[in-house]
Structure 1
């Protein structure tokens, strides 16, 4: 099938990631600068500003982490705090229905795994295209038959 993307391919919310990374840097710089420029603060208080800035930036970096990596051997889903490796045959279907915050992978064990790396937030068309591409890869590699389009 010529519509399949070349492997390996990484799906991630690029705009959201860019915003999160930019915000992390901006938050760190601004909060640190405020802490260092306030004259009446002692060294401990200034250090607490820098620590707070680092913690806030760290949260933004965690929010920028999600991705879905499709390779010859399977799919790796990286969410906020978890990472799960799946064989192609484990994925039964790829769903992105209207109103869903991200793609859901229905698995052969009867569970569903959220894949935050494909989310329609501020780039719906990109997310729909990515979900279709991942769905086509799953159908081609797992032996599952095509289902009705969703998304």
Structure 2
């Protein structure tokens, strides 16, 4: 992308200080809160029901722990920007990108999360910026990441 095609966003007045972490805080709080609540409820139920055998109690607690683990995994996504590049942590994967590898940051209406268009012609989903519960925050985070990419990417890409 040429330097003429890169436009500065007037809504992003200053760049965030590095390192900066973008993550869906409200979604994360809901997932972790629900997971902890399910674990506690299932554990309490297993301990309060007198007719359960030790194996059944263990299965209740194990099920609660499993549900908590799944919701913790779903709350994992984040995007971390530092001086040398961006780390995209998704549910089951993590990828480190140099600033020069990122050509464009996009969050179109209806997109479930930000997409990073890369210099190799591929696109990488960045689940750490998602407009699910907090759309305004996701848009602001996407603009901030876009401004960082524009400021840190060598001109001529």
TM-score norm. by structure 2 comes to 0.89
Can you list the C-alpha shifts for 1:55-101, whole angstroms capped at 9, x where unaligned?
00001101111100000010000000101000000001000000000
* Residue of structure 2 in register with 1:25 after alignment: 36
* Residue of structure 1 in register with 2:150 after alignment: 139
* Residue of structure 1 in register with 2:56 after alignment: 45
Q: Secondary structure at the match of 1:31?
A: helix
Task: Quote how far apart the aligned CAs of 1:2 are.
Answer: 5.7
Could you say if the C-alpha distance between residues 144 and 61 of structure 1 is closer, same or farther in structure 2, counting changes exceeding 3 Å?
A: farther
Q: Secondary structure at the match of 1:109?
A: coil
Can you list the C-alpha shifts for 1:28-56, whole angstroms capped at 9, x where unaligned?
10011111211111001100001000000
User: Is this contact kept in 2: 1:92–1:105, CA < 8 A?
Assistant: yes
Could you say if the C-alpha distance between residues 52 and 31 of structure 1 is closer, same or farther in structure 2, counting changes exceeding 3 Å?
A: same
Match of 1:88 among 73, 84, 99: 99
Task: Quote how far apart the aligned CAs of 1:143 are.
Answer: 2.4
Q: Which runs of 5 or more structure 2 residues have no equivalent in the other structure? A: 1-11
TM-score norm. by structure 1 comes to 0.93
Instruction: List 4+ stretches of structure 1 deviating above 3 A.
Output: none
- The whole-number CA distance in structure 1 between the counterparts of 2:111 and 2:75 is 19
Task: Give 1:1-151 correspondences, 5 Å limit.
Answer: 3-144=14-155
CA-based RMSD of the aligned residues comes to 1.3
- The whole-number CA distance in structure 1 between the counterparts of 2:91 and 2:15 is 27
User: Is this contact kept in 2: 1:7–1:70, CA < 8 A?
Assistant: yes
Q: Which runs of 5 or more structure 1 residues have no equivalent in the other structure? A: 146-151
Task: Quote how far apart the aligned CAs of 1:130 are.
Answer: 0.3
